[in-house]
């Protein structure tokens, strides 16, 4: 088992598995490594039957080019509807490559996934494998519907090269003797559950990958290494949590072992490996970076929501192009000439009056549509009270500065609210100035009580003001969750806790995206309850430094 294989080795092996079962495995997502991924595509194409087509689809392809539709030129020339074949149908039996898959519209991704599911277009069989190139920066990802239907996800960003031929682990052990039988379905289902994978499709992909690995080695059924390979390549990148540590079964009152006998020695001499042993080996074979990302709370979610990006909004004039729709070009709406001609072309024979002019009617008019994203405002609500200052304020300041720099690079606005003593203060209104943000952060003092409710209310007010200006707010709360100053300024802990929970509930009811970082040295249930009331992701980080906090918040914004 080659647990230390490079990403390119894994990609080459995944390509060989995909060539064995292209329709069942769906394809793969390759991130980074612009030159290397072309080698992976070439490997996959070479392993398919001779003559298999390979088609590239641009990110802004329209439905007619994708699925087939009216050939506008031929229709106008002949005076009758002439249909053209779409690129997906032309790729039947081969590969579809999606450059810049992170920019594909969700509607386009839905068309492709429908073909992957139905394996047909208009009752005509279409069987393809999809290779999606993910060139997105931190705030971009391919549509989730597409991601879920491709078995393999491999990041080539840090790979600097490898050999073109990748020896298969399965091939290397093809000559081995018979191995004890295992239950791949049970092992893969257990692995998916252990890694927090809810999708049943992932376990089915892993089973198909294991069977493909067995077929690559000339075996009829998967063995242990095939299953471990499938877990590493298919389930590992989908993991959302660390596997639970094994329970300690050693008890002081355990019964003494039975006396040895000839039969027991024979049984020990030829044991059948239980499924849980194979599962443990598979989980141990996961790449270290997967486990490190999960431990840091930075598991990448498949949701197609940009990290720190604003809400999607329709626009009549600018932004990412969407499909045209029927309508009148007025009030700033733009005419889509090609779509208008395409709508009018089939009717020209009936409308013909001589003169050769193309006759367009009101019902033929099509208008262009665009999509934009609202500007974002990341609001940091920092607990600067005495308890926080004594324990975590220095780390919190470092994490906020890293997050501020990240927001600055993405040209998003940032704001800073600090609460301590008897109230809360907006130290930095929404701004793009990194210099101002750093200065406000450096001047943040510590000490006094914890007016948590007042701080949450101030952050919510700032978020609602940003939303009223057309921006998308995201709230980052850094506190130990132990408020002791009520909203009226009284130092009554019970009232302070009730007020804080009410303020948190108001944030949740307002629908403001948020993450709650519990910075206490020993997290207690109060923080988790507040996060639940806010509808925020709760991240207890008792031993994390500034960099770990930064990674955790960035992951929460992406989720």
Share of the chain above pLDDT 70, in %: 70
Q: Kindly state the average pLDDT of the residues 487-499.
A: 87
Q: What is the mean pLDDT of residues 494-506?
A: 91
Neighbours of 520 (CB within 10 A): 21
Q: How confident is the model at residue 433 (pLDDT cuts 50, 70, 90)?
A: confident
SS3 79: coil
d(CA 149, CA 117): 8
Residue 175's pLDDT band, with cuts at 50, 70 and 90, is very low
Cβ partners under 8 Å of residue 302, min gap 6: 141, 144, 147, 148, 238
211 confidence band (pLDDT: 50, 70, 90): very high
Query: What's the mean per-residue pLDDT of the chain?
Result: 78
How far apart, in whole angstroms, are the C-alpha atoms of residue 538 and residue 531?
6
Neighbouring-strand partners of residue 515 = 476, 537
Q: Where are the alpha helices (DSSP H) in 184-309?
A: 184-194, 200-216, 224-230, 262-269, 275-284, 288-295
Question: Quick one: 173 exposed, middle or buried, by C-beta within 10 A (0-12, 13-18, 19+)?
Answer: middle
pLDDT digits (tens, 9 = 90+) for 22-43: 999 999 999 888 889 999 999 9
Mean pLDDT of 443-455: 81
Mean pLDDT lowest for which of 437-451, 482-496, 522-536?
A: 437-451
At 410, is the pLDDT very low, low, confident or very high (cuts 50, 70, 90)? low
| Cα–Cα distance measured from residue 9 to residue 16, given in angstroms and rounded to the nearest whole number | 11
Distances (CA, A) of 237 to 144, 150, 535: 14, 12, 26
540, HSE (Cβ side, Cα atoms, 13 Å):
13
Give the torsion sign (CA, 273, 277, 283, 287): negative
What is the separation of C-alpha 285 from the centre of its chain, rounded to a whole number of angstroms?
A: 22
* Inter-CA distances, 218 with 1, 205, 469, Å: 17, 20, 63
Could you tell me how many residues make up the chain? 559
Residue 356: per-residue pLDDT: 59
Is the Cβ–Cβ distance between 479 and 526 less than 8 Å? no
> How many whole angstroms separate alpha carbon 130 and alpha carbon 59?
14
Helix (H) or strand (E) holding 19: helix 7-20
Give the per-residue pLDDT at 17: 96
Average pLDDT of the segment spanning 241-268: 52
Q: How far is CA 189 from the centre of its chain?
A: 21
**Torsional sign, CA 91, 118, 240, 540:** positive
436-450 average pLDDT score: 75
CA gap 81, 500 in Å, rounded: 66
State the CB neighbour count (10 A cutoff) for residue 441.
20
Q: State whether residue 535 is helix, strand or coil.
A: coil
Alpha carbon 136 to chain centroid distance?
11
**What pLDDT is recorded for position 167?**
47
Percent of the chain past pLDDT 90, that is, above it, reads 25
Position 104 confidence tier, pLDDT thresholds 50, 70, 90 = confident
Higher pLDDT: 312 or 180? It is 180
d(CA 135, CA 143) in angstroms, rounded, equals 13
Angle at 466 between CA 461 and CA 470, to 5 degrees: 145
CA distance 111 to 87: 12
Q: What is the pLDDT of residues 308-323, one digit of tens each?
A: 445 555 555 555 666 6
- Round to whole Å and give the CA distance between 191 and 185: 10
């Amino acid at each position: 088992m080659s647990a230390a294989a490079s990403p390119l080795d894994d990609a080459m092996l995944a390509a060989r598995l995909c060539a064995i079962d292209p329709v069942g495995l769906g394809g793969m997502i390759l991130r980074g490594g612009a030159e290397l991924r072309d080698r992976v595509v070439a490997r996959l194409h070479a392993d398919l039957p001779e003559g298999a087509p390979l088609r590239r689809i641009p990110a802004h392809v329209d439905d007619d080019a994708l699925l087939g539709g009216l050939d506008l030129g031929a229709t106008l020339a002949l005076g009758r509807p002439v249909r053209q074949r779409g690129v997906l149908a032309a790729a039947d039996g081969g590969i579809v490559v999606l450059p810049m898959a992170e920019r594909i519209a969700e509607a386009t991704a839905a068309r492709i996934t429908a073909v992957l599911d139905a394996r047909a277009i208009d009752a005509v069989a279409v069987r393809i494998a999809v290779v999606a190139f993910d060139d997105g920066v931190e705030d971009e990802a391919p549509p989730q519907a597409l991601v879920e239907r491709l078995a393999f996800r491999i990041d080539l960003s840090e790979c600097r090269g490898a050999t073109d031929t990748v020896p298969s682990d399965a091939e290397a052990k093809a000559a081995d003797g018979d191995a004890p039988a295992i239950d791949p379905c049970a092992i893969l289902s257990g692995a998916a559950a252990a890694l927090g994978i809810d999708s049943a499709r992932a376990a089915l992909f892993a089973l198909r990958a294991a069977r493909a690995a067995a077929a690559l080695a000339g075996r009829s059924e998967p063995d242990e290494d095939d299953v471990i390979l499938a877990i590493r390549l298919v389930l590992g990148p989908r993991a959302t949590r660390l596997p639970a540590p094994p329970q300690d079964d050693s008890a002081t009152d355990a019964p003494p072992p039975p006396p040895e006998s000839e039969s027991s020695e024979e049984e020990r001499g030829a044991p059948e490996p239980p499924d849980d042993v194979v599962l443990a080996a598979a989980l141990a074979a996961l790449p270290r970076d997967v486990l490190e990302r999960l431990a840091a709370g930075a598991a990448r979610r498949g949701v197609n929501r940009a990290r720190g990006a604003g809400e999607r909004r329709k626009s009549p004039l600018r932004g990412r192009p969407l499909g045209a729709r029927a309508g009148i070009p007025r009030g700033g709406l733009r005419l889509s000439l090609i779509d208008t001609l395409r709508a009018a072309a089939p009717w020209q024979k009936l409308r013909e009056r001589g003169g050769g002019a193309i006759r367009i009617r009101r019902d033929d008019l099509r208008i262009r549509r665009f999509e934009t994203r609202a500007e974002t405002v990341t609001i940091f609500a920092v607990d600067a009270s005495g308890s926080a200052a004594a324990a975590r304020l220095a780390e919190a300041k470092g994490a906020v500065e890293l997050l501020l720099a990240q927001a600055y690079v993405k040209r998003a606005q940032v704001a800073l609210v600090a609460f301590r003593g008897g109230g809360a203060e907006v130290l930095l209104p929404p701004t793009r100035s990194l210099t101002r943000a750093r200065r406000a952060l450096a001047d943040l003092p510590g000490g006094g009580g914890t007016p948590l409710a007042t701080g949450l209310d101030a952050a919510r007010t700032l978020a609602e003001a940003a939303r009223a200006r057309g921006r998308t707010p995201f709230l980052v709360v850094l506190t130990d969750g132990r408020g002791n100053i009520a909203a009226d300024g009284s130092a009554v802990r019970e009232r302070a806790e009730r007020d804080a929970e009410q303020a948190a509930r108001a944030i949740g009811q307002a629908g403001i995206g948020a993450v709650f970082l519990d910075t206490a040295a020993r997290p207690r249930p109060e923080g988790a309850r507040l996060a639940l009331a806010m509808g925020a992701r709760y991240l207890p980080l008792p031993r994390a430094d500034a960099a770990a906090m930064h990674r955790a918040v960035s992951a929460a914004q992406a989720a």
